[in-house]
């Protein structure tokens, strides 16, 4: 039987999510890849246990994780809970999402309808064997459903006790502000937006989402912090055959140009001068943004999780380091 490390809370940093009372670890574990059907269960379980041993209390899922067998990541996570983590349920913050295509027919396609969102959470709770999730997200904005309907559905689930907090994902500033106004009127505990963000993908800055979130007490939980693996040491000297780009399993492989490789190597030089790997500096750089609550990392093996958590050992940046990083990032 699994016994978690007694030192699991000794070194992890926890940040308040927006203006809410909920604290999240600075680094959280996302279960998008390597936890669903076809993944090695023992490895998935080892990754979850390693994360918890390191103080990562937040595990982030979605109804469609495990594609093409939607829901299989939640099913596997339910089994992992049963094998030693469930007894620690009150130490965990478990989130799931709904919004993308999930099941056949008009009620399970990409939408934000009341029918879809309520049915989907019921399915997710059954797959994981839970009575509630801590955070329930609308996964992507639906232009065909009134935001009032989406907000009322999420509010209803909170009032039923099936979710403690709600959030949105992949919403820009304008859409976040619009639905936040509805949540304020309903007094729904809307606490977080989950966007993509990294050194190579800074849209939340140009959009103003991060500034809006900071000013309005909404947390930011960042996904894809390493830009599909670009911000690791995997591509500094070519394209490995077993990498995402090498296997053609990422949609941004065409961006790995000689200019991009040169940029990554320059960033790696700064990371090395800080005593870090490029991936660790990239995570620390995201957390340097005061709007960010937590960084959601993915992993394929336990060692990667431990490696990424070391980013917290050097959270500080000098003005010179920030200036040099900005110069590199702005280069063509």
| 332 residues of the chain, pLDDT tens digit each | 899 999 999 999 999 999 999 999 999 999 999 999 999 999 999 999 999 999 999 999 999 999 889 999 999 999 999 999 999 999 999 999 999 999 999 999 999 999 999 999 999 999 999 999 999 999 999 999 999 999 999 999 999 999 999 999 999 999 999 999 999 999 999 999 999 999 999 999 999 999 999 999 999 999 999 998 999 998 898 766 655 565 655 667 688 888 999 999 999 999 999 999 999 999 999 999 999 999 999 999 999 999 999 999 999 999 999 999 999 999 88
Which pTM value belongs to this model?
A: 0.95
Phi and psi at residue 151, to the nearest 5°:
-65, -40
**Eight-class DSSP state of 91:** G
The token pair that represents 229 in the structure block: 């693996």
User: Can you give the pLDDT at residue 1?
Assistant: 83
Q: Where are the alpha helices (DSSP H) in the chain?
A: 41-53, 72-80, 114-128, 147-159, 173-186, 203-207, 209-216, 244-247, 258-273, 278-287, 302-309, 319-330
- In DSSP terms, 136 is beta-bridged to 96, 166
| The Cα angle at residue 41 between residues 31 and 133, in degrees rounded to 5 | 40
Residue partners of 252: CB distance under 8 A and separation at least 6: 227, 228, 230
User: Can you give the pLDDT at residue 247?
Assistant: 61
Q: Among 200, 195, 198, 327, which residue's Cα sits nearest to residue 255?
A: 200
SS3 162: coil
> Looking only at Cα atoms, what is the longest distance across the chain?
55
With left for phi above 0 and alpha for psi between -120 and 50, is residue 84 left, alpha or beta?
Answer: left
Cα 43 → chain centroid: 20
Q: Which domains does the chain carry?
A: 14-234+282-317 (3.20.20.100)
What number of other Cβ atoms are within 10 A of residue 296's Cβ? 22
User: Can you give the pLDDT at residue 221?
Assistant: 98
Taking the C-alpha atoms of residue 101 and residue 282, their distance in angstroms, rounded to an integer, is 31
């Amino acid at each position: 039987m699994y016994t978690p490390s007694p030192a699991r809370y000794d070194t992890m940093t926890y940040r308040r999510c927006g203006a809410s009372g909920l604290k999240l670890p600075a680094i959280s574990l996302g279960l998008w890849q390597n936890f669903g059907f076809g993944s090695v269960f023992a490895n998935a379980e080892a990754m979850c246990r390693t994360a918890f041993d390191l103080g990562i209390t937040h595990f982030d899922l979605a109804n469609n994780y495990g594609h093409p067998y939607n829901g299989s990541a939640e099913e596997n996570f339910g089994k992992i809970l049963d094998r030693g983590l469930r007894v620690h349920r009150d130490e965990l913050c478990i989130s799931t999402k709904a919004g993308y295509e999930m099941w056949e027919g008009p009620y399970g396609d990409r939408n934000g309808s009341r029918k879809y969102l309520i049915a989907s959470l019921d399915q997710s709770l059954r797959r994981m064997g839970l009575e509630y999730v801590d955070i329930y997200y609308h996964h992507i904005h639906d232009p065909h459903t009134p935001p009032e309907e989406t907000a009322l559905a999420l509010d209803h689930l909170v009032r039923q006790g099936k979710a403690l907090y709600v959030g949105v994902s992949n919403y820009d500033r304008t859409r976040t502000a619009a639905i936040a106004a509805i949540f304020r009127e309903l007094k729904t505990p809307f606490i977080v937006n989950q966007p993509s963000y990294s050194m190579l993908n800074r849209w939340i800055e140009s959009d103003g989402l991060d500034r809006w979130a900071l000013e309005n007490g909404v947390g930011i939980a960042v996904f894809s912090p390493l830009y599909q693996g670009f911000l690791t040491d995997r591509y500094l000297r070519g394209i490995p055959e077993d990498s995402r780009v090498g296997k053609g399993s990422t949609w941004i492989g065409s961006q790995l140009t000689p200019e991009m490789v040169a940029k990554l190597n320059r960033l790696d030089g700064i990371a090395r001068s800080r005593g870090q790997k490029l991936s660790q500096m990239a995570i620390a750089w995201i957390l340097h943004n005061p709007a960010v609550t937590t960084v959601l990392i993915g992993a394929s093996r336990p060692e990667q999780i431990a490696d990424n958590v070391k980013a917290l050992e050097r959270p500080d940046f000098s003005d010179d380091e920030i200036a040099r990083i900005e110069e590199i990032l702005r280069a063509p």
